[in-house]
């Protein structure tokens, strides 16, 4: 229930506010009776009732957004978006958003496929994990080859290549987890980790959280605060448009070094590694500004003999559809995950789907 997801102090404060509204109405009603026939005094009561009505209407809007509005935003900065996580994200014992535990070994005879990536892999904004491309892949494999594959999603919001290296080295390999096939999903903003401005952009986004309690601790007013803010914050409004130049400079050199380490670790431990490249969905089309970056990444992996699936042409063919979670959240929605899964099955895991014991 949405009510159970509300913070205790919010419920307490709202209860106190509703009590004030109720008591103020009683006061106005009593004064109406006492001041009957006194036009000057009744004028003040009418003004008070008009104010009371306005406050009740705003309170009603706030309660609607607190109890029924359920939507994410790209950076999960609003209280509504953070509550979405409380409602829809369930993590297993190992801390990953998955319906089954991530055990060191699968059942006898099973092969394990691991998905690594950021919020796109995690399924930010996708309430039902069954709608994610990783879970769709798992379901299709179970239909084609029952009991032969175990699929795990190790995606986490904000995880770039350094985090992928860390999970592979310090979790999967160091703790001897079974990994037969590894699919690393790259979003173009992963390169942000390798630029010195990343901390500055993170600080800018975080430092603009409101201090005033009406904007800080509510849902509707907090949401409106950030909706207005996005028009004055280029890093939110343009959603990583400043990253284009990173692929022509030092960040790309650093990213290649991290990717080299990632691929070498997997190769050293005989883990079949494949890559999925996700485009930014909010500006797909003929003028999509990151086509060169897609080609650059694809060529990097092909030169190293790694199978890579670039989803830009796949999803661009459906640019006329709604592929993002909502107009304020540029993450892939369930439809985009479905299209990604179709491409993964036919273009990246075609050999796996054909193979059988």
Question: How do residues 205-253 score in pLDDT, each as one tens digit?
Answer: 544 678 888 999 999 999 999 888 877 765 555 556 678 888 988 999 9
What is the average per-residue pLDDT within 101-123? 95
Residue 199: exposure state from Cβ atoms within 10 A (0-12, 13-18, ≥19):
exposed
How far is residue 2's CA from residue 68's CA, in Å, rounded to a whole number?
Answer: 7
Lookup: tokens for 71: 């939507």
Q: Distance (Å, rounded) from C-alpha 219 to C-alpha 83?
A: 10
Per-residue pLDDT at 297 exceeds 80: yes
Side-chain half-sphere CA neighbours of 317 within 13 A = 7
Higher per-residue pLDDT: 105 or 2: 105
The position carrying tokens 């309170």 is: 59
Helix, strand, coil percent content, the chain, rounded in steps of 5: 55, 10, 35
Q: Taking the CB of residue 162, how many other CB atoms lie within 10 A of it?
A: 16
* C-alpha torsion angle, residues 335, 339, 342, 346 (rounded to 10): 180
CATH of 97-195+239-354, one of 3.40.50.300, 3.40.50.2300, 3.20.20.70, 3.40.50.1110: 3.40.50.1110
What pLDDT is stored for residue 39 in this prediction? 81
pLDDT (0 to 100) of residue 201:
52
For helices 220-229 and 39-67, the axis angle rounded to 10 degrees is 80
Q: How much is the pTM?
A: 0.90
Q: What's residue 32's pLDDT? A: 83
Instruction: Please give the Cα distance from 208 to 206 (Å, whole number).
Output: 5
SS3 253: helix
Round the average pLDDT of the chain to a whole number and report it: 90
Of 190, 116, 185, which is closest to residue 156 (Cα–Cα)?
116
Residues 114, 262: contact at Cβ < 8 Å?
A: no
Q: Which of 316, 315, 310, 320 is nearest to 337 (CA)?
A: 315
Residue 153 CA to residue 177 CA, distance in Å, equals 14
What does each C-alpha distance from 255 to 162, 302, 335 come to in angstroms? 9, 16, 30
Instruction: Tell me the per-residue pLDDT of 139-170, one tens digit each, with 9 for 90 and over.
Output: 999 999 999 999 999 999 999 999 999 999 99
Q: How far apart are the first and last CA of the chain?
A: 45
pLDDT of residue 75: 86
- Minimal CA–CA distance to 125: which of 73, 190, 188, 65? 73
**Structure token digits, residue 274:** 């494949």
Q: How far apart are CA 255 and CA 194, in angstroms?
A: 6
pLDDT band at 199, cuts 50/70/90? very low
């Amino acid at each position: 229930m949405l009510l159970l997801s509300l913070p205790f102090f919010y419920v307490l404060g709202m209860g106190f506010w509703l009590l004030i509204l109720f008591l103020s109405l009683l006061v106005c009603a009593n004064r109406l009776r006492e001041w009957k026939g006194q036009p000057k005094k009744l004028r003040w009561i009418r003004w008070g009732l008009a104010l009371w009505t306005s406050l009740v209407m705003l309170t009603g809007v706030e309660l609607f957004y607190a109890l029924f509005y359920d939507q994410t935003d790209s950076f999960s900065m609003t209280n509504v978006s953070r509550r979405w996580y409380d409602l829809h994200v369930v993590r297993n014992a190992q801390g990953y958003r998955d319906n089954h535990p991530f055990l060191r070994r699968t059942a006898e005879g099973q092969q394990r496929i691991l998905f690594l990536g950021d919020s796109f892999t995690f399924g930010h904004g996708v309430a039902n994990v069954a709608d994610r491309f990783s879970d769709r892949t798992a379901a299709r494999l179970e239909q084609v080859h029952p009991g032969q594959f175990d699929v795990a999603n190790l995606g986490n919001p904000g995880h770039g290549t350094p985090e992928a290296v860390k999970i592979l080295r310090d979790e999967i390999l160091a703790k001897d987890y079974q990994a037969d096939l590894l699919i690393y999903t790259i979003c173009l903003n992963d390169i942000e980790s390798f630029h010195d401005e990343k901390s500055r952009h993170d600080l800018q986004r975080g430092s603009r959280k409101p201090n005033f309690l009406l904007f800080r601790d509510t849902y509707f007013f907090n949401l409106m605060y950030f909706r207005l803010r996005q028009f004055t914050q280029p890093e939110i409004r343009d959603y990583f448009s400043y990253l284009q130049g990173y692929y022509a400079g030092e960040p790309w050199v650093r990213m290649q070094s991290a990717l080299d380490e990632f691929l070498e670790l997997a190769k050293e431990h005989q883990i079949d590694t494949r890559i999925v490249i996700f485009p930014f969905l909010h500006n797909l089309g003929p003028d999509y500004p990151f086509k060169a970056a897609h080609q650059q990444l694809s060529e990097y992996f092909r030169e190293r003999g790694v199978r890579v699936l670039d989803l830009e042409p796949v999803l661009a063919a459906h640019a006329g559809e709604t592929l993002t979670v909502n107009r304020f959240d540029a993450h892939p929605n369930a439809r985009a995950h479905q299209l990604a899964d179709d491409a993964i099955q036919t273009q990246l895991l075609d050999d796996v789907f054909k193979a059988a014991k």
